[in-house]
Structure 1
């Protein structure tokens, strides 16, 4: 056991790392949206891929920082709440679903349920794959 005192971040420190991480995540989301623009009434692939990939990374992150490694106390708010919270965009998903609903109800329902199912599957996949990859005794095989 170490004699060093544990670092306990303060409220302002937590808010600062969340804000910084959120800005980084939002820039990543913006970049993906610019790379994959969509017209009104078409399937919003950029938002779909953003949310699903973000959920996959959330599954990976949570296993790494809670089970596999000892990390700095600001890692979770910075990476989880900040970067991945700023990257994923379920508010845009909601607005896009509503926008599709009037003229393209089948696409709206497909987008809604497809995103929810894919996001949940992505989180679970991230968790399972990361647990297997970080399980003790995996080295050297």
Structure 2
């Protein structure tokens, strides 16, 4: 007999928080608001169902955190294999992340620094 532990609601919340972080802090570094809106419609990183085990949820959290770390860094080629491995793992868990490492490298070169509706506001009070 094998005992497995189900994922917890707090893990599900953490995964959703990481996905929101990607949409508000990572994607605006590389893509326009129109592109990000399209990603939402395509349900990129959409978590429609609960993860069956504690291990599954931890693997998904770790993969997303690793992708965030890589995409917030200088996008060095030495991380391409790690990036691809984590994208593959997310796909194995049913999360749609249709990007390749080179797409982010190219997007960063082309992206102008501009405001995005997806970025978190620096403050909530405007006088």
Q: Report the structure number with the largest CA radius of gyration.
A: 1
TM normalised by structure 2 equals: 0.30
Task: Write 1 or 2 for the structure with the bigger share of helix.
Answer: 1
